Amino acid sequence: MELRKGVVLLKGSPNTLVVGRYVIDPGNPAERSAEILKAAGERPMVLLTHHHADHLTAVPEGAEVYAPWGEEILVSNTRARLFFTHGFYVPDAAYVGRDLKVAGLVRPGDKIENVEAVDLRGHTFGHMGYLVEGVLYAGDAVFGEMVLKRYGMPYLNDVDLFTSSLDRIESLEPEVLVMGHGPVAGSRKRIKELVEANKSAVEKAVALVESMLPGEPTEIAVRALKQLGAERSWENVVLTSVIVRAILTKLAAEGRAHPDDEGRWGIGNLR
């Protein structure tokens, strides 16, 4: 599907954007690499938004891989990637990927021909977006409503950075928004709706976690997923525990939560 002349969308979850020989987030499964080579040529340059395995499993052999600044070890090392994604090493995760050789780093503001790198941190600490010809590939800086409903909370490592990136998406005024997981948004009205839906999901998650104190992160994650009617597979419980920890970090910094001597989190400042 051609979004602009020379800007091609390969639909999937995640979606992949091809701009000439540049491939943004090859996605998964590994077999998808054949489709990517057909669209981008034999030695594509891969621009990753972040290190999560579902976005890089289909990197073709021989491709030049460019990682977001600060996430290079997580792109190159499978064990480090899985550890950081889940909070501990999970060898049988749904998405694993492989070790990748990183050819270079991408920093916010970098321009790779007509592709501009945009700071969209929060989902991960180095998450990048890519803007080309009015099309913003936002990766996992924003999620479609069906994803939010299925998983309960938007996955994030930093609450405030995630919401700031949502504001940045809107301020860039893209004509087309491509998310990692969800349909393409082709109008500014639709983009605004998605931004607001994600902000609301974050606010709801923060309020819900705070309302469930005292508790420990995994316990809170299970209770929250149950209340939200979201998927409660073992891996989503683990991933939601990461989100809960990020929310607790925010609450602690604001004096609204603290861990006690037994490892449970309570309301208010540590005394």
Q: Are strands 7-10 and 16-19 parallel, antiparallel or unpaired?
A: antiparallel
Integer CA distances (angstroms), 20 to 4, 16, 24, 76, 271, in order: 12, 13, 11, 24, 58
Comparing CA positions, the residue from 216, 266, 268 lying closest to residue 244 is 216
- 84: which 2 tokens? 């950081």
List pLDDT tens digits, range 223-258.
999 999 999 999 999 999 999 999 999 999 999 999
% of the chain exceeding 90 in pLDDT: 97
List pLDDT tens digits, range 61-83.
999 999 999 999 999 999 999 99
Q: The pTM is what?
A: 0.96
Mean pLDDT of the chain: 96
Any domain includes 260: no
Any domain includes 177: yes
Asked if pLDDT for residue 215 goes beyond 70, the answer is yes
Any domain includes 35: yes
d(CA 108, CA 96): 26
Asked if pLDDT for residue 175 goes beyond 90, the answer is yes
Question: What's the number of domains the chain is made of?
Answer: 1
Any domain includes 241: no
d(CA 267, CA 97): 39
List pLDDT tens digits, range 91-129.
999 999 999 999 999 999 999 999 999 999 999 999 999
d(CA 247, CA 253): 10
Asked if pLDDT for residue 269 goes beyond 80, the answer is no
Any domain includes 215: no
Asked if pLDDT for residue 55 goes beyond 60, the answer is yes
State residue 262's pLDDT score: 84
- What CATH number does residue 73 fall under? 3.60.15.10
State residue 271's pLDDT score: 52
Any domain includes 213: no
> Residue 34's domain spans which residues?
2-203
Any domain includes 231: no
Residues 137-154 have a mean pLDDT of: 97
Any domain includes 249: no
In sequence order, what E strands does 115-236 have? Answer: 115-119, 128-132, 135-139, 176-179
**The dihedral sign for the CA sequence 59, 85, 106, 100:** negative
Residues 163-177 have a mean pLDDT of: 98
